[in-house]
Chain A
Amino acid sequence: MGSFSFTDISVSAIACAVPDTVVSVDSYNQKFDRKIIERYRDEFGINVKRVSSVLQTASDLACEAAALVIGRKDIEKEEIGAVVFLTKTQDYRSPATAAVIQHRLNLPTDIIAYDIIIGGSGFGYGIQTVCSVLSSIPKRYALLLIGDTNSKQVSPMCEYSIAAGDAASCILLEKSEKVDNISVRSFSDSLYISDIIHKKGAFRYDPVISESEIGNQKACINDLIVNPDSVSKYASGFVADHLKDFIDGKNFNYLAIQQESNAISENLSKKLDLDKSKVISNIGKYGNVSGASIPLLICDILSGLKGEISIITCSFGEGFSSSFTHFSVNAGDLFPVIETNSYFQYGEVSHKF
């Protein structure tokens, strides 16, 4: 939605949670050809990732991250006016998962709560949306939660399952006295809608998926289909061009690029002639965790630092869509990544209500 600049809101804290189960890329060697494994390890840069249990959902991880932020920042819950959950792996078809999160976190009922369905580009989209909402309400805080259990969305028969990791994050947005705290720019390019798509299981009646459309991914027809080459082309073309414009004239300490693959990050860095010491990466530890990628990268690499740091983020994903943000944050408010196997036991719902 073009350019945004929020002069009265800051990123106050970020926390992330991942499942405690670690899966190695090499564990896929019984399922896929050696060359495929090598591609994901060498070109994508993935060594291990985190995978949730059957009972653990994205909101379980998001709640852990949010609880940590609320506790560590000693937040008065009555001052939280919005909880927005960005996900493509909701708990239920209805109601919105954000409403359940409101209950689980014991947040006030005087609150805006809904889900936004978006994956890879979610960080920038979420920042611009939740900052806009927070600007319009008489509350001090808003919670932007971003999370997905990608491992449940990609067929185990599909090679992209090697990359799909699970994670969630909580970004605390707070009204502040700072000047020009957050700038955002976002884009949508729907021409490539079919290059990251999950048709089955939704409500377009009986979708007809052609052989040419799925190519060699026939085994994935009922699940998320990703065309990594098309994503790479989008990142090195459209995203690179607009990131260059966004970065121009901005001072920053670190650049956090969507952890889609090391090859994409390196290509972007090279094309924009970036100082490599500023470009942070952690895909080797977590794989592609879609919307939570940027906050997970920031917490994983930058927590433990001291003082105010300035960060530019570049996220992109399905649609295609992309978004860039620039903000500063106190490094002491970036919390170490939580590892958890917890889940919402009361969330199991059936006709035995």
Chain B
Amino acid sequence: MLESSIYNVEIDGIAVAVPVQPIELTSFYDIFGEEGVSSFTEMTGIKTIYRARKEQAASDFAIVAAKKIIAEKNINIKDIGLLIFVTQKPDFRVPSTAFAIHKALGLSDECACFDLNLACSGFLFGLHCAMSSLSCSGFKYALVLTGDTSVRTLSPFDKTMIMLFGDGGTASLISKTQNPTRTSFSFKTDGNRFKSIITPAGAYRNTGLPLERTAWDDGITRSDYDTHMKGMEVFNFSISDVPKLIKSHMELLNTTPESYDYFALHQANLYMLKQIARKLKIPTEKIPISLEKYGNNSSNSIPLVISDNLAGIDKTARFMMCGFGAGLSWASCDITINMKNVFSIIHTDEHYNN
């Protein structure tokens, strides 16, 4: 475990935007059958997901969320020195989508911006990148945005994936503070298991593969341009490596589950979350859940589950966060957030074609 502590920088706002129309998983009965869908819901806890409209990109949700924060916090955008957009569904191959967001938000030419490419662990790696950069800069604020429209690389015939992922975007405002804060991160990366969750084609290796979807050995029809997950490998990773990291992190910090108000965990799958809770002896009421309404929302998951369950409550809460996914890549974070700075989820069909 690699630990990193950052002082006097905090999350000063969280906003989340998702599509307008929910899709009930019961609408998949025609494709996967009532029994197949029901068993999927029982295992994952997912009943509805929200899907972006055809003209909406991941950045559209992040922009809406960022505008909300800028307005609510009434900050001078000239004080924002960094914008990081964590995504695997960029608007363009070049440049980073962060530049389009920079333009949409009217940020200053002194505000550095770039996309950070990670999946479900991305929020915490992006948060650490922003916090460490802000600490070394003369600026007051940084923005960490996340966004994904996972459906764009999913086979509609892949039951294990197409009903799992929802779309959306988030914005977190990071600010310097005079308060004596400590945010502690722990990180792990294991590229030896890079094939466990992979979208093999569409970038610059594995070029020229056929676009047509065919039946694979597991009986599911997909192409190499679709995201594929090795279920058992990912399950074992989620219920062994992930709790092990959280446990090690708590031991390092000399904390226990009682030390935290909430555990904001990547919303991978309800059964996995229950296993993690059981292994770490975390009371289930300390683990907020958003899977039922929003599914697995990739890098959006952690801000989304906080906003969905805890927006605006009158409390300063201590969190243990944990994100985990493709790479394989996983991270945890001990952080305190004033919940009055967490805003309710916005539903939007806005899109920014410019």
Contacts and interface: CB of A to CB of B under 8 A. Distances in A.
B117 A193 contact: no
Given A58-B204, A95-B326, A188 B112 contact: yes
Given A94-B197, A99-B327, A115-B117, A199 B111 contact: no
B37 interface: no
A237 to B, nearest CB: 12
A96 B99 contact: no
B207 A54 contact: yes
A327 interface: no
B285 interface: no
A57 B92 CA distance: 19
Given A103-B191, A204-B92, A91 B204 contact: yes
A248 to B, nearest CB: 17
Contact of A94 (B93, B94, B198): B198
Interface in A274-319: 317-319
Interface stretch (A14-22, A31-39, A104-112, A258-266): A104-112
B294 to A, nearest CB: 19
Given A125-B112, A203-B91, A350-B224, A102 B81 contact: no
B56 interface: yes
B203 A109 contact: no
Interface stretch (A65-73, A130-138, A169-177): A130-138
Interface in A63-103: 81, 88-103
A321 B326 contact: no
Size class of the B contact interface (CB-based, 8 Å):
35 or more
A1 B153 CA distance: 33
Size class of the A contact interface (CB-based, 8 Å):
35 or more
Interface string B1-28: 1111110000000000000000000000
Contacts of B192: 103
B209 interface: yes
Interface in B79-114: 81-82, 88-96, 99-100, 102-103, 107, 109-114
Given A96-B329, A112-B128, A4 B191 contact: no
Interface in B117-147: 117-119, 122, 125, 128-129, 131-133, 135-139
The 6 A-B pairs at the shortest CB distance, nearest first, are namely: A103-B191, A1-B112, A190-B103, A318-B95, A99-B327, A95-B326
Interface of B: 1-6, 54-59, 81-82, 88-96, 99-100, 102-103, 107, 109-119, 122, 125, 128-129, 131-133, 135-139, 149, 152-153, 187-192, 194-195, 197-209, 214, 216-217, 222, 224, 227-228, 230, 326-329, 353
24 contacts: A1-B133, A2-B139, A55-B205, A58-B204, A92-B203, A94-B119, A95-B191, A96-B326, A98-B189, A104-B191, A109-B190, A111-B187, A136-B6, A136-B128, A137-B2, A187-B112, A188-B99, A197-B94, A198-B94, A203-B91, A204-B57, A319-B96, A350-B201, A350-B224
Interface of A: 1-4, 6, 54-55, 57-58, 81, 88-104, 109-119, 125, 128-129, 131-133, 135-139, 149, 152-153, 186-191, 193, 196-206, 208, 224, 238, 317-319, 321, 344, 347-351, 353
